[in-house]
Chain A
Amino acid sequence: MEVKSIANGVVIDHVRAGFGMKVLEYLNVDTGSDTVALLMNVASRKHGRKDIIKLENVESVDLNVLGLVDHNATVIHIRDSKVVEKVKLSFPTKVKNVITCKNPRCVTSIEAVPHVFHLADDEGRYRCEYCDNIVKADEN
């Protein structure tokens, strides 16, 4: 399969195989109007299989959200067909309204407050600001 390289935009490489759709969803990419290429289950020398996302004419993506849902991905900024920047992701220390708390005893189940989570360890576990419930970011 051939997908032409983009001249300007953002490529998200090394997305966990089969996770591309979910990443697009979390990043709020409008697949109705933006030019988006999603390559799934691409053979990768290092990681077995991976997904790749290409977003044409997009300036940037929310690195916090991306770091949360797939922190092994790489973000590549392309301008005039040249790579101008490669960003390695890490887990954001705090996220708002990305993960939702599923603890039925949590105040978020009854009160209109933002869902806020704090990074709890190196493995991407997050702690609800209100009830201390721990969730693994990519399992939410």
Chain B
Amino acid sequence: MELKGRHLIEPSDLTVEEMEGLFDEAERIVANPESYAEVCKGKLLATLFYEPSTRTRFSFEAAMLRLGGKVIGFSEPNSSAVAKGESIADTIRTVECYADIAVMRHPKEGSVLVASRQSDMPVINAGDGGHHHPTQTLTDLLTIRLEKGGFDGITVGLCGDLKFGRTVHSLIQALTRYTGVRFIMISPQELSVPEYVREKIRKSGMEFEETHDLRQSLPKLDVLYMTRVQRERFFNEEDYIRLKDRYILDAGKLKDAKPDLMVLHPLPRVNEIAVDVDSDPRAHYFRQAKNGMYVRMALLMALLGVKGE
């Protein structure tokens, strides 16, 4: 695996072997975080957040700091060069003078790809307008792998907004690169997965079913990936209100689920997972956030060409 010097723009930039290599490294970090505390000493990460995402930015910054590196960046484009109309290309060229690696989030689709083409330093996409968000996918996969040991033969339920939720599309696409995964896609008709995602699953030869019924599907699942319905995706408020409370997971519904079910959610949640689920051992979404930091640590190391202990 040679990831040194490369960019990460979309999940498919990585081969399955490269992803597995990152997960192996992340697992070593989980087991022995202290021995990684200085591996990125002297390295500088730039976080370029053209739209705020505290969660993702903290995760990257914490990852770099826990590796012994340092961080610079902005998360309020209004106060930076961006507000003065500087191009993405010029910004990244300037940042490259100072930093060893950059993480970028931007509201426009394809923006991070454009930046990466102007940069010899590795650039990581932390979300380009709901287009790609590869480190979220890595986080989801690592979380499942840590618990289930792998992906072969598992049944994954995806619930909520499966139409606009790119996180879900990326996760499904990534899982189709393994073997024997079954998908149960639970959504209202209006928010079912786009055809290209179905096509991907068909091509992989994996089984899938589509349903409106969360309760009936729950007992079959090894993993349940919940998503929120986002207001900004709707043209009218009525549709949003009608659909947003369609699926709410609570302790009552979980009674019928497998004892080793994993409930995942990319966070932040609104109300699609009731707080009474949080104390259930099957709730993995906060650990999932922690795993996000670990896999970002592994990624930063790999792109910087830094070796662990």
B109 touches A105 (CB 8 A): yes
The residues in B between 86 and 130 inclusive whose CB is less than 8 angstroms from any CB of A are: 87-89, 106-111, 113-114, 128-129
B108 touches A109 (CB 8 A): yes
**B220 CB–A CB distance under 8 Å:** no
- Per the bound structure, the CA–CA distance linking A113 and B111 in Å amounts to 10
Main secondary structure of the interface of A (DSSP, over half): loop
- Per the bound structure, the CA–CA distance linking A42 and B142 in Å amounts to 63
Question: Which B residues touch A112, using CB under 8 A?
Answer: 87
Question: Which B residues touch A105, using CB under 8 A?
Answer: 107-109, 129, 131
A111 touches B114 (CB 8 A): yes
- Expressed in whole angstroms, the minimum distance between the Cβ of A121 and any Cβ of chain B is 11
Question: Which B residues touch A110, using CB under 8 A?
Answer: 88, 108
Output the nearest chain B residue to A112 by Cβ-Cβ distance: B87
- Per the bound structure, the CA–CA distance linking A110 and B109 in Å amounts to 11
The CB with the most chain B CB atoms within 10 A, among A103, A107, A132, A133, is that of: A107
**A128 CB–B CB distance under 8 Å:** yes
- Per the bound structure, the CA–CA distance linking A45 and B295 in Å amounts to 65
Output the nearest chain A residue to B112 by Cβ-Cβ distance: A107
A103 touches B109 (CB 8 A): yes
The residues in A between 87 and 126 inclusive whose CB is less than 8 angstroms from any CB of B are: 103, 105-113
The CB with the most chain A CB atoms within 10 A, among B87, B88, B114, is that of: B114
**A21 CB–B CB distance under 8 Å:** no
- Expressed in whole angstroms, the minimum distance between the Cβ of B137 and any Cβ of chain A is 16
- Expressed in whole angstroms, the minimum distance between the Cβ of A129 and any Cβ of chain B is 7
B114 touches A131 (CB 8 A): no
CB contact under 8 A between A108 and B87, given known A131-B131, A132-B131: no
A113 touches B109 (CB 8 A): no
The interface on chain A, measured as residues whose beta carbon lies within 8 A of the other chain's beta carbons, has a size of 16
The CB with the most chain B CB atoms within 10 A, among A105, A108, A129, is that of: A105
CB contact under 8 A between A111 and B88, given known A130-B114, A131-B131, A132-B131: yes
Question: Which A residues touch B111, using CB under 8 A?
Answer: 107, 111, 130
Output the nearest chain A residue to B106 by Cβ-Cβ distance: A107
- Per the bound structure, the CA–CA distance linking A132 and B129 in Å amounts to 12
Output the nearest chain B residue to A106 by Cβ-Cβ distance: B109
- Expressed in whole angstroms, the minimum distance between the Cβ of A140 and any Cβ of chain B is 18
Output the nearest chain A residue to B117 by Cβ-Cβ distance: A113
- Per the bound structure, the CA–CA distance linking A22 and B11 in Å amounts to 39
B108 touches A106 (CB 8 A): yes
Output the nearest chain B residue to A101 by Cβ-Cβ distance: B110
Question: Which A residues touch B113, using CB under 8 A?
Answer: 107, 129-130
- Expressed in whole angstroms, the minimum distance between the Cβ of A4 and any Cβ of chain B is 50
Question: Which A residues touch B108, using CB under 8 A?
Answer: 105-107, 109-111
The 8 Å CB contact of B89, one of A103, A111, A130, A131, is A111
The CB with the most chain A CB atoms within 10 A, among B87, B108, B131, is that of: B108
For the complex with contacts A107-B88, A107-B111, A130-B113, 14 further pairs of A-B residues with Cβ separation under 8 Å are A105-B131, A106-B108, A106-B110, A107-B110, A107-B113, A107-B114, A107-B128, A109-B108, A111-B108, A111-B111, A113-B114, A129-B110, A129-B113, A130-B109
Complex A-B, nearest 7 residue pairs according to Cβ-Cβ distance, in ascending order: A130-B110, A131-B109, A107-B110, A107-B108, A107-B111, A131-B110, A105-B109
- Would you mind naming 28 contact pairs between A and B with Cβ atoms under 8 Å apart? A103-B109, A105-B107, A105-B109, A105-B129, A106-B108, A106-B110, A107-B88, A107-B106, A107-B109, A107-B111, A107-B113, A107-B114, A108-B110, A109-B108, A110-B88, A111-B87, A111-B89, A111-B111, A111-B114, A112-B87, A113-B114, A128-B110, A129-B110, A129-B113, A130-B110, A130-B113, A132-B131, A133-B109
